[in-house]
Amino acid sequence: MPSRQYFIGVDVGTGSARAALVNTKGQVEHQAVEKIKTWTPDPEFYEQSSNDIWRAVCTVVKHVISNITRAQVKGIGFDATCSLVLIDKNGHPLTVSKTSVDEQNVILWMDHRAAEEADQINATAHPILKYVGGKVSLEMQMPKLLWLKRYLPYSFNNLGRAFDLPDYLTWRATGVDTRSLCSVVCKWNYDAEENKWNADFLRSIDLEELTHSNFSIIGNHMESPGKPVGSGLTKLAAEELGLLPGTMVSTSLIDAHAGILGTLGCQAEDIDEDITTRMALIAGTSTCHMSLTKSICFAKGIWGPYKSAVLPGYYLNEGGQSIAGHLLDHILKSHDSYATLKDKLGGDKYIYQHLNQLLPNIAASQGLPDMAYLTQDVHVWPDLHGNRSPVADPTLRGMITGLDMARGVESLAIIYLAFVQALAYGSRHIIENLYLYKRPQFKSMLFCGGLSKNPLYLQCHADICNLPCLVPYEEEMVLVGAATLAAAAFGQYNSLEAAAKAMSGMGRVIKPNEKTHELHDRKYKVFLKLMENQYEYRRIMHPDSA
């Protein structure tokens, strides 16, 4: 009897590396997690180490294969945050830090040091910017590279390669510099329509150096996700990972994009299976709102349309919230009742569950028809870390109205509910903005990531966006997406789309509560007013910059 075949999915997130052993049906049989280190030398600066990340990757891969033979692993796929990795001309780490420590050679995706450089790039109004909703984000790579040229010229002038982290991992695994279309199209302003770098754009933003030597620093060999890279694992990488040399390695995906790949084929009764009528929310520290279309859709403030960034032949539109799970953690931990509640529950593991169970009881005690009405006079604009979509303004900040003198856990629960609702109003804002630009209507929303385990977050999205929400039974769909890449590269399925549909599995459905529809329509109007008011306050306080 032949031995079972497996694929490994590796996901490098903001604070940890994870690996999963995934079978051919998309089921996770074993997984592991290892923390990675982050330095914050200045406010808005977040730095990591590619060597530390690779160490963590090797640790988790060895762990998940500990009970099988190496020959059973037929391929490995990587996804990671869209962080910037610098390597010098000898292949060694090259600092991104004012500390000049070479170990700190990764600018984390959430680093906001390049705000001025992003503004400068956007001021060019170059035609290529239409593929990022009209504006690059300061989280993208060209603003960060321009910052490096200005403030760390030694590092910029000694660049051997500049990678998106997912592509660094495939290079480290294979020794072959193959860039995924996902990374270069979504974060590097690569022209997927013409299938080439736009040299005029790079010159216009003062990064002509990147055009030298046939664009070797930023890569000149692009492949679609799910394609084989080189000859598989090198002898050294195989030894470090505990796998066999030559094990198939796939071109990579950004972590959120692995989430949409993992979820897009998920099935449930009475849910439309057309992948173009689904919006996938990869909801964790931040949230990415991903959707695919066959025809091109340009939407202001929404990244994309990105051609073939996830699946060949499909355009990707990508909205997002810079903070989501991190926002809720911040709101809870900054409330004066958090410590008391944490002590009462014996830690913070069950705080969200406790608050979710408490809210209906508070509503019942006040005679309200639904807990959503607890916030009918409490309204939140949630962009404490700026707005990624659809306003595309990193300088926007959070707002709340309706504060009173109440204290205690019930007060915390209501504020928490208001912020969860605000995140859902932000998702509705993204959806309605896409509709303004003639994007076909959505019929469902798909969820994966840490926030998909929060039933309040899911129900608020179903109610506020008035769409059924589909949650895969398999919780680790980002890891499944990474493993799906490996399955496609190995040839287990005849295309990446076929692999995704075969490995996405089944899910449960959360339907909208029609009783709260009218309330949320009114609160959504207030939500938009908060944004208008914030800009009005700026005009009052800073009339010369208006």
- The string of pLDDT tens digits covering residues 317-330 is 999 999 999 999 99
Nearest CA-CA partner of 173 in 182, 181, 163: 163
Per-residue pLDDT tens over the stretch 72-83: 999 999 999 999
Which phi and psi (to 5°) does residue 495 adopt?
Answer: -160, 165
Model confidence at 546: pLDDT above 80 = no
Q: What pLDDT shows up at residue 388?
A: 92
Q: State the pTM of this model.
A: 0.91
Domain 325-430: top CATH class: mainly alpha
Nearest CA-CA partner of 254 in 318, 329, 337, 199: 318
- Exposure string over 161-175, b if 16+ CB within 10 A, otherwise e: bbbbbbbbbbbbbbb
Which residue type occupies 326?
H
How long a stretch of residues is the chain? Answer: 546
- How high does pLDDT run on average in the chain? 96
Model confidence at 208: pLDDT above 80 = yes
| Contact yes or no for 110/46 (Cβ under 8 A) | yes
What are the C-alpha distances in Å from 537 to residues 239, 382, 399, 534?
59, 17, 12, 5
Model confidence at 513: pLDDT above 80 = yes
**CA–CA separation, 203 and 212 (whole Å):** 11
Model confidence at 474: pLDDT above 90 = yes
State the CATH architecture for 6-253: 2-Layer Sandwich (3.30)
% of the chain beyond a pLDDT of 90 = 96
Cis peptide before 390 (omega within 30 of 0): yes
Domain ranges of the chain: 6-253, 325-430
**CA–CA separation, 277 and 36 (whole Å):** 37
Model confidence at 342: pLDDT above 70 = yes
Q: What pLDDT shows up at residue 269?
A: 87
Model confidence at 307: pLDDT above 90 = yes
Model confidence at 215: pLDDT above 70 = yes
Mean pLDDT of 258-272: 92
Residue 346 DSSP one-character state:
T
**Distance between first and last Cα of the chain:** 73
DSSP 3-state assignment of 63? Answer: helix
Model confidence at 544: pLDDT above 90 = no
Per-residue pLDDT tens over the stretch 137-182: 999 999 999 999 999 999 999 999 999 999 999 999 999 999 999 9
**CA–CA separation, 447 and 262 (whole Å):** 10
Mean pLDDT of 292-306: 94
Least confident of 17-21, 223-227, 387-391, 541-545: 541-545
| CATH fold match for the domains 6-253 and 325-430 | no
Q: What pLDDT shows up at residue 78?
A: 98
Q: What pLDDT shows up at residue 214?
A: 97
Mean pLDDT of 387-409: 94
Q: What pLDDT shows up at residue 545?
A: 76
Q: What pLDDT shows up at residue 381?
A: 98
User: pLDDT-derived band of residue 60, with 50, 70 and 90 as boundaries?
Assistant: very high
Model confidence at 1: pLDDT above 60 = no
Nearest CA-CA partner of 144 in 106, 200, 184: 106
For residue 235, the number of C-alpha atoms closer than 13 Å in the C-beta half-sphere is 0
Per-residue pLDDT tens over the stretch 103-136: 999 999 999 999 999 999 999 999 999 999 889 9
Token readout for 11 is 């996901």
